[in-house]
Amino acid sequence: MPDRRSSLRRRAYLGGRAVFADGSQSYECLVLNFSEGGAELNASGVTLLPQTFDLVVPVKARTYRARICWRRDDWVGVEFIDSAALRD
């Protein structure tokens, strides 16, 4: 199967948080790999995530607006729609 990604993904293993429902719900997750355009996430609650959510990655000091491309068990692949620096 050909890789359709527009940028190279690198292994990351970063802690993250998927935030949705106007910030009232969230799930801790592990960012397994990361690129300019998207990421692969792992968490027990990813099957409950909405199609679009905010991915907060403290180590990168950024929040990414993410859209789900695929789901499989506890894994999800996302593409980034937008990003912003975390505020103090």
Q: Is residue 1 part of a domain?
A: no
d(CA 30, CA 40): 8
Q: What is the mean pLDDT of residues 21-25?
A: 92
Average pLDDT taken over every residue of the chain? 88
Decide if 15 is inside a domain.
yes
Q: Read off the pLDDT of residues 28-67 as tens digits, 9 standing for 90 and up.
A: 999 999 998 999 999 887 778 999 999 999 999 999 999 9
Residue-number span of the structural domain to which 15 is assigned: 10-85
Q: 83 by DSSP, 3-state: which? A: strand
Give the rounded percent of residues in the chain with a pLDDT score beyond 90: 68
pTM above 0.75, yes or no: yes
Provide DSSP, 1-68.
-----SS--EEEEEEEEEEETTTTEEEEEEEEEE-SSEEEEE-TTGGG--SEEEEEEGGGTEEEEEEE
Q: Is position 46 within any domain?
A: yes
Domain count, the chain: 1
- The verdict on residue 16 lying in a domain is yes
CATH number of the domain enclosing 76: 2.40.10.220
**Residue 2 within any structural domain of the chain:** no
